Amino acid sequence: MCWRQMRKQSNSRVSISISRGSKSTSRKEICQHPETASDVSEQKDNMETMLAELIQLRKEHTDASNSTKITLSRVESSLKDVLERTTKLEQQITDNNQRVSDAEDQEANLSAKCKDLESRVKRNNLRIYGIPEGEEKNDMISFVIDLMRTSLKLPQDMDLCVERAHRSLNAKPKHSAPPRSIIVRFFNYRVKEKVIQMAWSRRDVTHHGRRIYFDQDYTVNMQKKRKKVREVIKQLKDKNVRAVSPFPAQLKIYLDSEHKISLFADDILTYISDPVMSVPSLMKTIEEYGKLSGYQINQSKSETIVIHGHLPTNLTD
């Protein structure tokens, strides 16, 4: 009974509120107007603040962007300068390398000319090896003339035309060391050649029971090359292979009494009678030798010369 009465009262109140809704609504709106205006004003202030901050941010961004563009422009300009300088330096390096290459070629040519001039200056000279120190007393020229006449059996009326004679310019050796060679210079090249050919033809030339040797007055560079050739000849003789050096730094090897190989300072000349059978074996031998020594064939400077007949077609490549 009580709950129904309360429900009826609540319904009546609702109906009353509805019937007076128009008036109550207008009052609420009137009550809410001051709060709405305050919120709008606050929001407006906030938006103006945000707008000001955005404007400031945009200005700062624009300034930063302009500054970045200016910096990038400077960097691009600097890079351009660096590129130009680098290009100039590369060109200078190329020019300098070319100059160095030209200078090296010129130096090589001058060195070759100096060696050639040195060899030409020594053309009229010969060396005598094995004469003990002090044998010449105080007159080297008279001693050398008498030595050549007696040891080589030269005619007494032969004019030797000796210009000067002296020991090699090394330090005087100790008593137990080998004596220095004697350098003899002739006025006439032909007389020098005749003397040295006679010395070589006699083979065993002695002076006071001591064996002496006559040879050309080679340059230092040629002497080093001939030393290497002599070492090779010695090793070949130990293996019963005949080898001679008829020309400075040249080596001839004879196999079965037939001349097969000529060795020069930088070249090798081989004589082959049966190319089809010999060339593969020769190339294999050279290849094996190259693996051990490090030397290789320069294909661009190598060639085949047919002495008799023609080159087989299967070897033309």
Domain ranges within the chain, ordered by starting residue: 123-218, 234-315
What pLDDT does 22 receive? Answer: 42
CA-derived radius of gyration, the chain: 54
Under 8 Å CB-to-CB from 226, ≥6 apart: which residues? 218, 245, 248, 249
What pLDDT does 11 receive? Answer: 43
Phi, psi of 129 (to 5 degrees): -110, 145
Between helices 21-121 and 2-19, what is the axis angle to 10°?
Answer: 80
Q: Are 149 and 93 in contact (CB under 8 A)?
A: no
Q: How many CB atoms lie within 10 A of CB 55?
A: 10
Look at residues 143, 99, 130 and name the one whose alpha carbon lies nearest to residue 205.
Answer: 130
The domain covering 123-218 belongs, at the CATH homologous superfamily level, to L1 transposable element, RRM domain (3.30.70.1820)
What residues in the chain have per-residue pLDDT under 50? 1-33
d(CA 188, CA 186): 5
Look at residues 219, 244, 221 and name the one whose alpha carbon lies nearest to residue 234.
Answer: 244
What's the whole-model pTM score?
0.54
What pLDDT does 272 receive? Answer: 74
Q: Are 183 and 166 in contact (CB under 8 A)?
A: yes
* Residue 183, beta-bridge partner list: 127, 166
Helices (H), the chain: 2-19, 21-121, 140-152, 189-202, 220-238, 275-293
Q: How buried is 182 (Cβ within 10 angstroms: 0-12 exposed, 13-18 middle, 19+ buried)?
A: buried
**The token pair that represents 266 in the structure block:** 């930088």
pLDDT in tens, 25-71: 444 444 444 557 787 888 888 888 898 899 989 889 998 999 999 99
Tell me 269's DSSP state. E
What pLDDT does 298 receive? Answer: 77
What pLDDT does 6 receive? Answer: 42
Look at residues 40, 58, 62 and name the one whose alpha carbon lies nearest to residue 50.
Answer: 58
In one-letter notation, the amino acid at residue 127 is: R
d(CA 240, CA 249): 21
3-state secondary structure of 239: coil
* Residue 126, beta-bridge partner list: 184, 216
Q: What is the number of alpha carbons within 13 Å of residue 8 lying toward its C-beta?
A: 5
pLDDT in tens, 94-123: 999 999 999 999 999 998 899 889 888 898
